[in-house]
Each structure stands twice: as C-alpha cells, then as structure tokens.
Amino acid sequence: MILMADEDYMRLAIQAAKEGHDTWTNPHVGACIVKDGQVLATGCHYHYGREHAERNAINKLTPEQLFGSTIYVTLEPCSHYGKQPPCAELLVQSGFKKVVVAALDPHPLVTGKGIKILEDAGIEVEVGLLAKEARALNPFYNFYYEHGRPYISLKQAITLDGKVAVKGERTPITNAAVKKQVLQERGDYQAIMVGAKTAIIDNPTLLTSKEGDFPPIRVVVDRRGRLLDHLDLKLLQTGPETWVLTLNEDLANTVFPDNVHVLLLPGRKARDIAQLLGEKGIQSVYLEGGPTLAKAFLDADLADDLITYLAPFYLGKQTTNGVNSQETLQLTDTKIQTFNDNIRIYGRIQHV
C-alpha cells in the first residue's frame, strides 16, 4: 500500500484548482478532503459566482464523513460574505479536525481573518505547505492585492530592424501562427489596452479566441479625444465591453452604444491610467499598443513583463520604432518559443 504524504494531498488540491473555469476576478482555488489516510473528495472554484472550492468538495460528502477529517486548501478560506458565504465558517460547522492552507489570501478582507476564525474554533491550522506552487495559480490576483494596481504585460510585434509599422498605416508584422497565439493569449487577461492612434490606424476588434462568460474588457486610452472624429471604429460598436479613458469632456459626454463606457482620467500620466484601472478592479492588462503608450508605462516602471514577437524581415524607412527603454532593462524568467518563422520572446521585467 502506498502511503500519501501531506504534500501529495496538497498537490491534489492544486491540480483540482486548475479545473476552475471563468473565475473572473476571483482566484483559482482547490481543496482536498482526507480522513484516515483516504482521499474522500476534491473540489475547485469552478466559475465566478458559484460555490468556492471548499464548499464544492464538502457538498460531495456526508456529515459523518466530514467530521474529524482534514481539508487541504490552496488558499486561505474566505472570511467575508460575497457571492458566497464565508468558507471559514463552513469549515467550522463541518467539524474538520485540521485545515492545511498553502497560501494566505492577499485580499485585505481575508488576510489572516480566515485563519483566525478557524483557530478561534479550536481547529488545528497549518499554513505554508507548497505555498510557491499554490501562489502560481493566481499570479495576477496576488499581484493586484499586494501592489494595488493591475499586472501589466507589454506586447509588441517587431521586425529585425526593430520596427512595428509603416508610419500612418496598418502594417501586418507577424505570421498566422502568431496571430492565433495572440488571440488565445489575450484571454488570459482581464483587459486589453491600446492607445487612440493604434485604435484609429488599425481599427482592431481586440477579441480573444478563448471562450468564456467574461471576455477581456477592451480599453482605449484617448487623452485628447481623437476618437471624436472616428466614432465608427469597431471598438465603439458592438462586441464585448469597451472602456475609453480620456481627459476630454466632449468625448465623455458623447452617446455611445451600451457596451461602450467613457471614463475620465484623474491625470495624463501612465500612473493615472493604472490607478483608474485598479480602482475599477482590473487585475491584469495586456497592453498591445502602440509604442508611445507602452513606453510611458515602461518609463514609469509600471510594466511587469515584456512579450515580443519577432518577424524575420526589415521594414526599412518611414517606419515607427518599437518600444525602447531609457535605461538598461533586465529580463528574468525568459522563455523563447518559435511559431514557424516567427519568434516569441518572453521575460519578466525587474523593477528598480
């Protein structure tokens, strides 16, 4: 007979968490219930608004099975009422003998409070088992609550001479395989952001190929109000939700379709944009363009990773340069992939 250890049970909980789908602003969480060395049930937070991982696992068992058992959960049980009642109280009511938590929840309504409820009820609590692996389930969620702003990925597609477009023209750079990858990649984020110039020249839809109930919000930064002369853009018509961020009062007072919302910026700097998106609950941003907007975030030390797609040709004169850094830029956790004759280069940006 093979005996399982605590780490094995927590790994089952981590694996269960990955089965979650469309949790939107909520984290991916998994749970595993064990009694007398036997795994009784696993559960996950499957969908935003539905039962959390602990409740999902508990609902599969009888009160007799639950009493005196141990539950392994990848994230601290919640302690507040939201879409679902507090899981910490549910664990107390279910008669668990021990609760093993991989990572504390960085959400200010939860941090430490869920643990306290359990300990005050006399339940043995262990924290920190496979914490690194559990935290990796929710990198954007953790970053948002620990830094008070969205995690921001800069994405660019450049040629061998570092160009992104012929000036003033929509210029395809990458191949079909990359375009398919980007359509999938967008779905990993809660918002996709471009500047007004990119929106006007490229007239993109900024859609994702990932299916789900919560497609990324499309964000256009238009401080000056240039979209007033381009109200027929695809982003301003039907489709997923679009936010236009501006300083222009006329644009803010313009009537748009119901899916378009104009938000007034508190200022014109990149930090003001990040602040507004953070206040609106956006945890992650895929910044697609253009280079001016990307450089503003890079120079403000607000970019967290860089995704570069490199195409094997030169664009030549009368072109626009890709984003450049004013300072030496160190990338970590680098990863290189090929998409036929195009290359994807990923790296996390080390903040100063």
What CATH number corresponds to the domain at position 198? Answer: 3.40.430.10
Strands laid side by side in the 191-195 sheet = 260-264, 242-246, 217-221, 191-195, 284-289, 151-159, 305-311, 342-349, 331-339
Report pTM.
0.94
Which of 107, 138, 169 is the endpoint of a domain? 138
Flag whether pLDDT at 172 surpasses 50.
yes
Which of 138, 166, 181 is the endpoint of a domain? 138
**Are both 115 and 188 inside the same structural domain?**
no
**Are both 79 and 104 inside the same structural domain?**
yes
Does the annotation place 186 within a ligand binding site?
yes
pLDDT in tens, 190-211: 999 999 999 999 999 999 999 9
**Are both 128 and 250 inside the same structural domain?**
no
**Average pLDDT across the chain, whole number:** 95
Does the annotation place 55 within a ligand binding site?
no
Beta bridge partners of 143: none
Measured between alpha carbons, how far is 347 from 3 in angstroms, rounded to an integer?
A: 40
**Are both 128 and 170 inside the same structural domain?**
no
Which pLDDT score, from 0 to 100, does residue 4 have? 77
**Are both 110 and 171 inside the same structural domain?**
no
**Are both 158 and 116 inside the same structural domain?**
no
What CATH number corresponds to the domain at position 14? Answer: 3.40.140.10
Tokens describing residue 100: 């093993």
In a domain, 62, yes or no: yes
Does the annotation place 32 within a ligand binding site?
no
Tokens describing residue 175: 């191949």
**Are both 32 and 180 inside the same structural domain?**
no
C-alpha closest to that of 334 among 350, 351, 352, 347: 347
Q: How confident is the model at residue 351 (pLDDT cuts 50, 70, 90)?
A: confident
Q: What is the share, in percent, of the chain residues with pLDDT greater than 90?
A: 89
Does the annotation place 87 within a ligand binding site?
yes
Long-range CB contacts for residues 123-126, cutoff 8 Å, separation at least 24:
123/91, 123/92, 123/96, 123/97, 123/98, 123/99, 124/97, 124/98, 124/99, 125/98, 125/99, 125/100, 125/101, 126/98, 126/99, 126/100, 126/101
Flag whether pLDDT at 1 surpasses 50.
no
Does the annotation place 31 within a ligand binding site?
no
**Are both 25 and 114 inside the same structural domain?**
yes
Flag whether pLDDT at 3 surpasses 70.
no
pLDDT in tens, 311-338: 999 999 889 999 888 778 889 999 999 9
Q: What distances in angstroms separate CA 201 from CA 168, 178, 286, one per listed residue?
A: 7, 21, 19
Measured between alpha carbons, how far is 323 from 309 in angstroms, rounded to an integer?
A: 12
In a domain, 328, yes or no: yes
Does the annotation place 247 within a ligand binding site?
no
The active-site residue, picked from 51, 54, 76, 185, is: 54
C-alpha closest to that of 73 among 146, 16, 140, 143: 16
**Are both 102 and 202 inside the same structural domain?**
no
In a domain, 1, yes or no: no
Flag whether pLDDT at 291 surpasses 90.
yes
**Are both 170 and 82 inside the same structural domain?**
no
C-alpha closest to that of 157 among 290, 309, 337: 309
Distance from the first to the final alpha carbon of the chain? 52
Query: What integer is the mean pLDDT of 171-190?
Result: 97
In a domain, 134, yes or no: yes
Tokens describing residue 270: 């990149």
Does the annotation place 206 within a ligand binding site?
yes
Tell me the CB-side half-sphere exposure of residue 86, using CA atoms within 13 A: 17
Domain count, the chain: 2
Q: Any catalytic annotation for residue 54?
A: yes
**Following CA atoms 162, 243, 46, 84 in sequence, which dihedral angle do they give, to the nearest 10 degrees?**
140
Does the annotation place 233 within a ligand binding site?
no
In a domain, 245, yes or no: yes
Domain containing 329 equals 148-351
pLDDT in tens, 114-157: 999 999 999 999 999 999 999 999 999 999 999 999 999 999 99
Which pLDDT score, from 0 to 100, does residue 21 have? 87
**Are both 60 and 152 inside the same structural domain?**
no
Q: How confident is the model at residue 271 (pLDDT cuts 50, 70, 90)?
A: very high
Tokens describing residue 269: 């700097």
In a domain, 123, yes or no: yes
In a domain, 143, yes or no: no
Residue 117 is which amino acid? I
Does the annotation place 290 within a ligand binding site?
yes
Which of 78, 105, 138 is the endpoint of a domain? 138
Query: What integer is the mean pLDDT of 166-183?
Result: 95
**Are both 97 and 246 inside the same structural domain?**
no
pLDDT in tens, 43-75: 999 999 999 999 999 999 999 999 999 999 999
In a domain, 269, yes or no: yes
For residue 212, how many other CB atoms are within 10 A of its CB? 14
Write the DSSP assignment of 175-232 as a string of letters: -HHHHHHHHHHGGGSSEEEEEHHHHHHH------SS--SSPPEEEEE-SS-GGGG-TT
Query: What integer is the mean pLDDT of 5-18?
Result: 97
